[in-house]
Structure 1
Amino acid sequence: MGVFNAVMSLSGLIDTELAEGERLARHTSYRIGGKAALFITCHSYHSLRRTIEVLGRERVPWVILGKGSNLLVADAGYEGAVISLGREFSRFVVSDDGATITAGAGAMLARLVNEALSRELSGLEFAVGIPGTVGGAISMNAGSRDEWIGAVVQDVVTYKPAAGIRHYGREDVTWGYRVTSLPRDEIILEVTLRLAPGKKVDIRAKMEQSLARRRRTQPIGSASCGSVFRNPANMSVGKMIEDCGLKGFSVGGAEVSTMHANFIVNKGTASAADVSAVISHVYEKVKETYGVELQPEVKFLGF
């Protein structure tokens, strides 16, 4: 049992790409992370289902990885399988009504935003500049402080291992700040979004305004995971960290951004241990100063 048997069972499986010892730094926006025992790209639902079955039988732990835009992988890597959703999960379909788009979970959110613009559909302007996949955006209800992707969701399709396909209408899901009630043990496969017709010039203007704000206030272009902590109710975690005098605080190659204090950037040589140390220091300092225990938005793998 284990990784070796899983490799033997999955090698040659149609619509499945398999790599052993893949460096996860290549698959995260932090550009940090050790090796995964297995890195599996599933290009179809059949491949995904079969892969999950084999890993379960062989007792190999697994995780789904989008584009790794909110993930910190340990320097020692992950002694399990990392699954990426490929071709079949990267498609867009626009319905006959012209205002409903169904997107695979593996599709890039940026492509979806541009697709909406090209079809003169409004409702996703706030998402311009947000990295990652559609599935990742749905799982964490990505957006700004005031606008979330959950507001335009019509339907979500998931796969529950050993149980099959599940469907959730918008009202079946609770959408909150950086969180949804979708079961954590289910894999998001696709989502249907209900958008509104608009004028391309107006949609583009709103997108440019949103992107300009991000460029002005966030270290876009630097290696990071985006926001590290969730904002407490009615508080700005960035301002809290800044008021603690932590802008520019660093450990090794990891630094609290001097542009936005809720971003920790990889200056080029950071290890996961460096980033983890900065996160811990910020957490303790804010707790000591404000009595608030910050909740991480970044996810951790291999720790």
Structure 2
Amino acid sequence: MARHASPLQSLLVDDRFDGDVYPNEPMSRHTTYRIGGPARFFVRVNSVGALTGLVDVCATEGVPWVAVGRGSNVLVADGGFAGVVVALGRDFRTTRFEDGRFLAGAGASLSSVVQDAFRRNLGGFEFAVGTPGTIGGALRMNAGSRDEWISSRVVTVTTYRPGRGLMRLRGDDIAWGYRTSSFAPDEVILECELAAEEADPFVVRDKMEANLARRQQSQPLSEPTCGSVFKNPEGASVGRLIDELGLKGTACGGACISPLHGNFIVNRGGATAADVRTLMDHVRARVQEAHGIDLAYEVRLVGFDEGARG
């Protein structure tokens, strides 16, 4: 151990730390965009103790940190992130079904719950079929379709926040909105309870197949993306606005506005975060000029000036 190691460095090299530590880890390995420079530390925490110890040290020492799921809604800057990227490992990736509810760790995939519900002839999750990412990410952004949201299934959510500790919130204690929730930026979602309901398995299957077919026909699922780039403004569709402006197919470097859906910017190979940001800024400027609408990001920016913790 170096004599002048920081508290963060001391924690991460301690043999008792229950996590996997990767210094200077390229974030392109951990995002669905396959884009992103190195994080100072990429840390996969495997237990609540490891998570709380890590984020407490970061908060105390003023080290920037961000929690990520499977990187499906993230754009990381080419210069990387000069802090700690926290991913949820072993103890946060389990799901079980008890008393009519799913108990799911925030690091579990949303698709695993969707498929488990289908096997049990349970309904209420058909809207999420084909949705990438983790339970934690889905809760933070209130993932859903045009008519259904994961918030409608939430019974409780357990979180951790430095200085506040562990908290268990009822679903109706949380303010849910379109692609938003009231979780604080430095509040890490740990697990949740999701209500399910008995349903006709043939109806469930038909709804899942219809939803998946719609996604496959309208979204570039076979190419690296972050999902939807912008939130739909009230009463309008970003995809339709972009289509009407003739912006589909516009390219910058290895990035391209998808010809299939205008609200998806795809990595056609070798795209940089700067390429994607150029297209994002171009779309925002054109929509603002044509319609007076200031589009809000749905994608989370990490390593940029406007990137946020949590």
What is the correspondence of 1:107-122 to structure 2 with a 5 Å cutoff?
A: 107-122=108-123
TM-score by length of 1: 0.96
Aligned to 1:153: 154
Q: Deviations over 1:156-208 (max 9, x none)?
A: 11111122111111211121110112222211111111111113222122111
Distance 1:3 1:85 in 2: 25
Quote the residue 1:285 is aligned against: 286
Quote the Cα distance in structure 2 between the aligned partners of 1:276 and 1:224: 13
SS of equivalent residue, structure 1 residue 6: helix
Q: Deviations over 1:109-134 (max 9, x none)?
A: 11111111111110000001111000
CA contact 2:224–2:266 (8 Å) conserved in 1: yes
Determine helix, strand or coil for the equivalent of 2:295. coil
> Aligned with 1:67: secondary structure?
coil
Look up the match of 1:175. 176
| 1:127-150 Cα shifts (integer Å, max 9, x gaps) | 011110000000000011211100
The residue type equivalent to 2:41 in the other structure is L
2: CA distance, partners of 1:142 / 1:121: 19
Tell me, in whole angstroms, the C-alpha distance in 1 between the residues paired with 2:101 and 2:65.
Answer: 33
Distance 1:183 1:33 in 2: 25
Structure-2 residue corresponding to 1:185? 186
User: What is the rounded CA distance, in whole Å, between the counterparts of 1:6 and 1:135 in structure 2?
Assistant: 25
List alignment gaps of at least 5 residues for structure 1.
none
Offset of residue 269 of structure 1: 1.4
Letter in 2 for 1:277: T
The residue that corresponds to 1:54 in the other structure is 57
In the TM superposition, what whole-angstrom CA distance separates every residue of 1:25-77 from its partner, at most 9, and x where no partner exists?
Answer: 00001000000000111111011111112223333211101011010000010
Correspondence for 1:74: 77
| RMSD, matched Cα | 1.5
TM-fit CA distance, 1:20: 0.3
How far apart are the structure 1 equivalents of 2:61 and 2:174? 33
Contact 1:10-1:54 at 8 Å conserved across structures? no
Task: Indicate how the Cα distance of structure 1 residues 75 and 3 shifts in structure 2: closer, same or farther if over 3 A, else same.
Answer: farther
2-structure distance, mates of 1:58, 1:13: 20
**CA distance in structure 2 between the partners assigned to 1:9 and 1:226 by the alignment:** 35
Q: Supply the distance in 2 between the matched residues of 1:4 and 1:174 (Cα, whole angstroms).
A: 38
SS of the equivalent of 1:224 reads coil
In structure 2, C-alpha distance between the alignment counterparts of 1:2 and 1:243, rounded to whole Å? 59
Q: Could you say what secondary structure the match of 2:271 adopts? A: coil
Please state how far the C-alpha of 1:3 moved relative to its aligned partner. Answer: 8.0
Q: How does 1:267-278 map onto structure 2 within 5 Å?
A: 267-278=268-279
2:9 is matched with 7
Aligned mates of 2:89, 2:181 — CA distance in 1: 24
1:164 corresponds to which residue? 165
Secondary structure (helix, strand or coil) at the match of 2:143 reads: coil
CA contact (8 A) 1:2 1:60 kept: no
Distance 1:46 1:4 in 2: 20
| Alpha-carbon separation, structure 2, partners of 1:81 and 1:296 | 23
Figure out how many residues of one structure are paired with residues of the other and give that number: 301
Aligned to 2:26: 23
CA offsets 1:262-285 (integer angstroms, 9 cap, x no match): 000000111000000000000000
SS of aligned partner of 1:231: coil
Contact 2:36/2:78, CA 8 A, preserved across alignment? yes
Question: Superposed, which structure 2 residues align to 1:152-301 within 5 Å?
Answer: 152-301=153-302
- Whether the 8 Å contact between 2:118 and 2:201 is mirrored in structure 1 is yes
Unaligned runs of 5+ in 2: 305-310
TM-score, normalised with respect to structure 2: 0.94
Residue pair 1:13, 1:47 contacting (<8 A) in 2 also: no
Q: SS state of the match for residue 63, structure 1?
A: strand
What is the match of residue 37 of structure 2? 34
Structure 1 range deviating more: 21-30 or 160-169: 160-169
